[in-house]
């Protein structure tokens, strides 16, 4: 896009929150490039600054307002256009203008495709514009500019039809909309042709996938179909809802080595009383049945989860049930949060708020408990061999980082590795959050068989 001084306008995107947002930012970057913008190296240099926001916790919103303050002077002086996109934009809408009157554009995560027309409205004299409607066409991603050269995110379902009492997502991302299997498979094949070897299927609840085409492909069938694309070495998927998790998904992982043997299955609490107040739609016992399904697989599937502590009404006994669930389930990783009240959510109406100090005490205890479990599980892997996708490097130190198919991070020393390559290692040490390994010589087997894992 040429301005009146004939200079190409530039943009810079800052992303807050989850992988869905990271991928949305890739789509927005692609859209802006297609509109003739150039990417700027920093927010200081950019004509258009886009904050792609998260609303899952109050703290995330405060961070965005504090970041917006950095651009206030330039925005008021007419040197910068400031746009707020994403979940917080959808949730707060025009209220953002009240708190940060120098913001020019507010658009929710379901309307980012309207960005070019919203920018035109600004250029033609509008002071402030909004895009807050849900867009059923949100999936066409032909312009996406991906940041990672070997792992690609691919959205299969947007939105959420559940109604967990603490969660803003149904308000910010709208109802569930699944892509057709044909559109997903075509994009996956395109990605492989471009050189990607790992695809991560994304959705708020990937396993609630409902193919809108006459074929009605199930999520497990879709996983298998993606995994069978020649040239693809790893397929991941996140996040799964326990209620919709089926044996067919486990069977697909068992029969397709390309499907990574890792499942992220958020439990949120180990107490039935809390799960009911959260409206999670399963009991502890039903959740454990899903875990038993996963543990019955032929491949060793690693398990991670999300937990919220201090949900309204959570007693000490409820909290202890969460600790015993960790013992029973033996997760390989956990994301934990203290409950944070969010606008519009049913949990706001619940009494018995847990004091902040008590929430902090519980989360510290929970993390210490899980840390021990992870350390013990990781120590059992010392001496085992894995295939790693090399993802990061510290050349000065001769250190590289890779990930196993079951999502464990391994650090290893090597003179020279190519990022994005697959290498065999043997585990030589273990901490609670990562492993240390030694690089093995490339075997014929590891070159041939994607996803090979002889570790567990
Ligand atoms: S399943 Fe529950 S926690 Fe997950 S996005 Fe939907 S409402 Fe939020």
Q: What is the pLDDT of residue 256?
A: 98
Mean pLDDT of the residues in the chain: 92
Q: Roughly how many angstroms between the first and final C-alpha of the chain, as a whole number?
A: 54
Q: What is the pLDDT of residue 155?
A: 93
CA of residue 239 to ligand 1 center, whole Å:
10
| Contact of 343 with 91, CB cutoff 8 Å | yes
Range of the domain at 114: 10-131
Alpha carbon distance 205, 181 (integer Å): 16
Boundary residue ending a domain (360, 379, 398): 379
Regarding whether 328 and 391 lie in a shared domain, the answer is: no
Give tens-digit pLDDT for 423-445: 999 999 999 999 999 999 876 44
Report how far Cα 149 is from the mean position of its chain's Cα atoms.
18
Q: Is the pTM of this model over 0.85?
A: yes
Q: What's 291's domain CATH number?
A: 3.80.30.20
Nearest to 404 by CA among 420, 416, 422: 422
Query: What Å distances lie between residue 88 and 5, 59, 184, 226, 437, CA to CA?
Result: 34, 11, 28, 33, 41
Boundary residue ending a domain (131, 163, 187): 131
Residue 347, ligand 1, Cβ within 6 A: no
Q: What's 393's domain CATH number?
A: 2.40.50.140
Residue 454 above 50 pLDDT? no
Residue 238, ligand 1, Cβ within 6 A: no
CA of residue 162 to ligand 1 center, whole Å:
6
456 pLDDT band, cuts 50/70/90, is very low
Which position has the higher pLDDT, 115 or 363?
363
Q: What is the pLDDT of residue 125?
A: 85
Counting the structural domains of the chain, the total is: 3
Give tens-digit pLDDT for 13-53: 999 988 889 999 999 999 999 999 999 999 999 999 999 99
Boundary residue ending a domain (100, 131, 162): 131
Regarding whether 294 and 249 lie in a shared domain, the answer is: yes
Q: Which tokens in the block code for residue 80?
A: 């910068």
Residue 240, ligand 1, Cβ within 6 A: no
Half-sphere exposure of 160 (CA within 13 A, CB side): 24
Regarding whether 287 and 228 lie in a shared domain, the answer is: yes
Alpha carbon distance 179, 188 (integer Å): 13
58 pLDDT band, cuts 50/70/90, is confident
Regarding whether 332 and 350 lie in a shared domain, the answer is: yes
Regarding whether 356 and 403 lie in a shared domain, the answer is: no
Q: Which tokens in the block code for residue 214?
A: 């006459």
Sorted by sequence, the CB contacts under 8 Å of residue 68 that are 6+ apart come out as 51, 82, 84, 100, 102, 103
Alpha carbon distance 169, 407 (integer Å): 26
CA of residue 67 to ligand 1 center, whole Å:
27
Strands 435-439 and 422-430: antiparallel
Residue 162, ligand 1, Cβ within 6 A: yes
Give tens-digit pLDDT for 186-207: 999 999 999 999 999 999 999 9
Residue in the structure block whose two tokens are 């998927």:
237
């Amino acid at each position: 896009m040429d301005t009146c001084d004939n200079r190409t306008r530039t943009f810079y995107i800052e992303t807050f929150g989850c992988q869905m947002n990271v991928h949305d930012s890739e789509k927005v970057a692609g859209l802006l490039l297609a509109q003739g913008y150039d990417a700027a190296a920093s927010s200081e240099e950019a004509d258009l600054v886009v904050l792609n926001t998260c609303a899952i916790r109050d703290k995330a919103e405060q961070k965005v307002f504090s970041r917006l303050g950095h651009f206030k002077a330039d925005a008021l002086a007419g040197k910068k256009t400031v746009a707020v996109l994403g979940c917080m934009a959808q949730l707060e809408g025009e209220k953002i203008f009240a708190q940060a009157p120098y913001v020019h554009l507010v658009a929710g995560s379901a309307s980012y495709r309207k960005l070019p027309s919203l920018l035109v409205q600004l250029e033609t004299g509008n002071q402030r514009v909004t895009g807050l409607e849900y867009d059923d066409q949100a999936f066409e991603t032909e312009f996406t500019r991906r940041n990672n050269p070997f792992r690609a995110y691919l959205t299969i379902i947007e939105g959420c039809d559940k109604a967990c009492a603490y969660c803003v997502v149904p308000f910010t991302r709208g109802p569930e909309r699944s892509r057709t299997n044909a559109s997903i498979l075509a994009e996956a094949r395109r990605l492989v042709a471009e050189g990607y070897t790992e695809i991560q299927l994304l959705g708020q609840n990937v396993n609630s996938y409902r193919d809108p085409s006459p074929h009605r492909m199930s999520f497990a069938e879709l996983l298998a179909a993606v995994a069978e694309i020649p040239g693809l070495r790893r397929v991941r998927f996140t996040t799964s809802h326990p209620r919709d998790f089926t044996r067919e998904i486990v069977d697909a992982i068992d029969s397709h080595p390309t499907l990574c043997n890792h499942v992220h299955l958020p439990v949120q609490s180990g107490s039935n009383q809390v799960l009911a107040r959260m409206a999670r739609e399963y009991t502890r016992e039903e959740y454990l049945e899903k875990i038993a399904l996963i543990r019955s697989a032929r491949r060793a599937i690693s398990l991670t989860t999300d937990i919220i502590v201090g949900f309204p009404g959570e007693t000490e006994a409820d909290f202890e049930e969460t600790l015993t669930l960790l013992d029973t389930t033996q997760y390989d990783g956990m994301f934990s949060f203290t409950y944070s009240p969010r606008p519009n959510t049913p949990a706001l109406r619940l009494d018995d708020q847990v004091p902040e100090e008590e929430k902090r005490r519980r989360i510290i205890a929970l993390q210490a408990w899980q840390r021990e479990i992870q350390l013990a599980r990781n120590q059992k892997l010392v001496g085992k061999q894995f295939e790693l996708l090399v993802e990061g490097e510290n050349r000065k130190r001769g250190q590289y980082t890779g990930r196993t198919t079951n999502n464990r991070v391994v650090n290893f020393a090597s003179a020279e590795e190519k990022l994005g390559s697959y290498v065999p290692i043997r585990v030589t040490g273990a901490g609670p959050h990562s492993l240390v390994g030694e690089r093995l010589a490339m075997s014929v087997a590891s070159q041939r068989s994607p996803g090979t894992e002889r570790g567990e």
